[in-house]
Structure 1
Amino acid sequence: MLYLLETKLPENKSIFFALTYVYGIGKKTSILICKKLGFSVNLKVKNITQDQSIELLKVIDSSKLLLSNELKKVKILTIKKLVSIKSYRGLRKSRGFPVRGQRTHTNAKSAGKLNRRP
């Protein structure tokens, strides 16, 4: 069982898809990490050795990406900033309306659920 940045990676998946479980790593970043380390796309997480997992952590640390909790904090701070300066996006976000110009006459039910603050 491999934990990477507070995320449990599924053992039966390939390393390419397992890396996308980490918040902030998408398919492109996952491909780049696998190429840097020389991993095959078909390499399963359960077949990774201890040395390979250490190398994986080193590459992710050296890539200077915002991942997991840091990325979540940055996103929350940007939303708070938009609300505090009373920009259009911030006001829409605080009221629970669609932020990016979608229609509100109909079809705005999901935006109301997503944009509400707990």
Structure 2
Amino acid sequence: MVYILGVSFPERQLVSKSLLSFFGVGPSVCARLMARHNVHPTARIGDLANKQVLDITSALSNMKIENDLRREILDNIRRLKDTGTYRGRRHALNLPVRGQRTRTQTKTAIKLNAIERRL
């Protein structure tokens, strides 16, 4: 088992798959991290040297991921609601925020916006 930011990963798992499991790390950020630390795209966690694991861990700890990113997203939505902007009102009413049609087909947006986002 290899630990990255306190999360244990099996040694047979791909590095890219384990990096993608963090909230806020997408495919492009994952590819950039792996290229910066000379990790092959098909490398497995068990194949990494200790220095590479420490470098990836330090790079991830400097990024805003997981709960920090979730908290920032919640704060941004709360700020929009408090200032009374159009987007904030749409969030408060559980309606689509980005200009989608509302005469029909708003069920998904209403479901997604109704969930009070939690940490």
Indicate whether the TM-score tops 0.5. yes
Q: CA deviation at 1:49?
A: 4.1
Give the distance between the partners of 2:10 and 2:43, measured in 1 at CA. Answer: 12
Q: Deviations over 1:29-67 (max 9, x none)?
A: 111111111111111123334443222112333xx4211
Cα pair distance change 1:83/1:9, threshold 3 Å: farther
Give the distance between the partners of 1:80 and 1:95, measured in 2 at CA. Answer: 13
- For the residue of structure 2 that corresponds to 1:102, the secondary structure is coil
- For the residue of structure 2 that corresponds to 1:96, the secondary structure is coil
Cα pair distance change 1:58/1:113, threshold 3 Å: same
What are the equivalent positions in structure 2 for 1:1-118 lying under 5 Å apart?
1-5=1-5, 7-9=7-9, 11-61=11-61, 64-118=62-116
Structure 2 residues without counterparts, runs of 5 or longer: none
Normalising by structure 2, what TM-score? 0.83
On the 8 A contact 1:9/1:21 being kept in 2, the answer is: no
Q: CA deviation at 1:74?
A: 0.4
Give the distance between the partners of 1:98 and 1:105, measured in 2 at CA. Answer: 11
Q: CA deviation at 1:10?
A: 5.9
Give the distance between the partners of 1:53 and 1:104, measured in 2 at CA. Answer: 48
C-alpha RMSD over aligned residues: 2.0
Q: Deviations over 1:6-27 (max 9, x none)?
A: 5554654421232111111111
Q: CA deviation at 1:70?
A: 0.6
Work out the percentage of aligned pairs sharing the same amino acid.
26
- For the residue of structure 1 that corresponds to 2:42, the secondary structure is coil
Give the distance between the partners of 2:10 and 2:99, measured in 1 at CA. Answer: 38
What count of residue pairs does the alignment treat as equivalent? Answer: 116
Name the aligned partner's letter for residue 38 of structure 2.
G
